[in-house]
């Protein structure tokens, strides 16, 4: 299959969006930008399209997809029940980086929800995504547009690397603004539960809903406590080289990582180092990448996946990362980093 690439970095092209929407209506696959990461879209009501999404990504088919909508009026078609809490969250955060788990609407086939009787729904905050969803019929199932196991794509070139020749269309919308996947909140239980941390924090959700809890499976050391979002159990976002997170005071961390990078060089390898803007200049060896500023947390979220991909391309033999427990986005950033590291953490 030849993948058609459409350039919408300067904005929505109505004629090309119409064509891409046509591809979705016929059951084809279109990768597109959102404000979080690039998505791999197919018609959410078409079981064949969902099967194609799983095949293109090499994703296990028990891992459900998120249904993307563009208009509030469409929510009751995707969800069987829309509780008051969902309406309040939509009012506060949609369009935006929040996914809600609700009872599955009858029109959503089980192929899209990985066999579950609940469905993940979100309205993305990106003009290209919204225009495409409308053109494609209103309901677009879309996981992140990476090959299963690779970091999520934050640029069209990342999608191209992973999925070229396996999808019908790739729409280039430039770099995405956030760079981490949406927050997922489950509204099907008594108390709302965060299943995946993201840009919308527990505190932000709490302001709208009151009590919001955090899935124990995300933080538990006990391997028998599984995360409730099926996708969170996989070792996602994995770079090719083993990644270790080093914690401690900034001075200790720099000293520890420098020593490890020296050792790696002496044994013929090359360490990739993920550092904050403040410390990046202090390393003597290794390939250092500055991820962003701890005082502007969004810059860290924005660069994380691109740096992991870059280290794959450069073929480093190990990766060491500083920890980024920043106040607002720290939980989301560390969740992704810990998963990429397979939870390997070293105290400096
Ligand atoms: O920001 C995002 O959410 C991006 C963009 C493209 O919108 N999409 C994304 O999709 O991250 P994906 O497929 O990579 O992650 C979806 C996550 C998975 O962990 C999946 O297990 C979980 O959502 N999920 C989907 N439906 C669910 C359900 N009914 N119950 C629990 N978890 C669900
Ligand atoms: Mg994903």
CA 242, CA 271: separation in Å to the nearest integer? 10
Q: Is 91 exposed, middle or buried (0-12, 13-18, 19+ CB in 10 A)?
A: exposed
**Overall average pLDDT of the 45-74 stretch:** 95
Q: Give the model confidence (pLDDT) of 267-290 as tens digits.
A: 999 999 999 999 999 998 899 999
Residue 255: CB partners within 8 Å, gap ≥ 6?
A: 348
State the pLDDT at residue 323.
Answer: 97
Render pLDDT for 189-241 as a digit per residue (tens, 0 to 9). Answer: 999 999 999 999 999 999 999 999 999 888 777 777 888 888 777 666 778 99
Note the pLDDT of residue 234.
63
- Ligand showing the shortest atom-to-Cα distance for residue 36: 1
CA proximity to 119, closest of 189, 204, 28, 186: 186
Q: For residue range 228-269, what is the model confidence (pLDDT) as tens digits?
A: 888 777 666 778 999 999 999 999 999 999 999 999 999 999
Q: Give the dihedral sign, CA 232/235/236/242.
A: positive
Task: For residue 235, count other CB atoms closer than 10 A to its CB.
Answer: 11
Distance from C-alpha of 326 to C-alpha of 308, rounded to nearest angstrom: 19
Residue 143 Cα to ligand 1 midpoint, Å, equals: 6
Which pLDDT belongs to residue 49? Answer: 98
Instruction: Report, as an integer, the average pLDDT of 32-44.
Output: 98
pLDDT attached to residue 290: 97
Distance 66 CA to ligand 1 centre (A): 5
The pLDDT tens digits of the residues spanning 134-170 come to: 999 999 999 999 998 889 999 999 999 999 999 999 9
Domains and CATH numbers, the chain: 4-219 (3.90.870.10), 243-347 (3.40.50.11030)
Contact 146 CB / ligand 1 (< 6 Å): no
């Amino acid at each position: 299959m030849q993948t058609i690439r459409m350039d919408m970095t300067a904005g929505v092209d109505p004629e090309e969006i119409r064509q891409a929407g046509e591809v979705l209506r016929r059951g084809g696959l279109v990768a597109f930008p959102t404000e979080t990461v690039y998505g791999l879209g197919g018609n959410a009501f078409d079981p064949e399209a969902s099967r194609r999404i799983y095949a293109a990504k090499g994703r296990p088919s028990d891992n459900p997809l998120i249904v993307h909508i563009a208009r509030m009026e469409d929510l009751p078609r995707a969800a069987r029940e829309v509780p008051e809490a969902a309406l309040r969250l939509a009012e506060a955060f949609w369009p935006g980086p929040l996914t809600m788990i609700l009872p599955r609407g009858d029109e959503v086939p089980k192929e899209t929800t990985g066999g579950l009787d609940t469905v993940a729904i979100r309205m993305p905050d990106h003009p290209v995504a919204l225009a495409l969803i409308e053109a494609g019929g209103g309901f677009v199932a879309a996981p992140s547009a990476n090959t299963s196991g690779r970091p999520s794509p934050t640029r069209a070139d990342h999608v191209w690397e992973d999925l070229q020749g396996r999808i019908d269309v790739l729409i280039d919308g430039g770099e995405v603004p956030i760079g981490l996947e949406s927050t997922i909140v489950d509204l099907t239980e008594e108390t709302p539960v965060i299943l995946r941390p993201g840009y919308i924090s527990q505190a932000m959700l709490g302001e709208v809903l009151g009590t919001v809890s955090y899935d124990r499976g995300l933080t538990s050391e006990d391997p028998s406590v599984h995360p409730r979002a099926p996708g969170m159990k996989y070792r996602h976002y994995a770079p090719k080289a083993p990644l270790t997170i080093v914690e401690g005071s900034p001075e200790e961390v720099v000293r520890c990582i420098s020593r490890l990078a020296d050792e790696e060089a002496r044994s013929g390898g090359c360490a990739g180092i993920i550092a904050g803007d403040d410390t990046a200049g202090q390393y003597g060896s290794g390939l250092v990448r500055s991820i962003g500023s701890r005082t502007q947390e969004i810059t860290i979220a924005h660069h994380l996946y691109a740096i992991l991909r870059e280290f794959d391309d450069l073929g480093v033999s190990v990766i060491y990362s500083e920890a980024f427990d920043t106040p607002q986005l720290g939980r989301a950033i560390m969740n992704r980093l810990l998963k990429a590291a397979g939870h390997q953490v070293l105290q400096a």
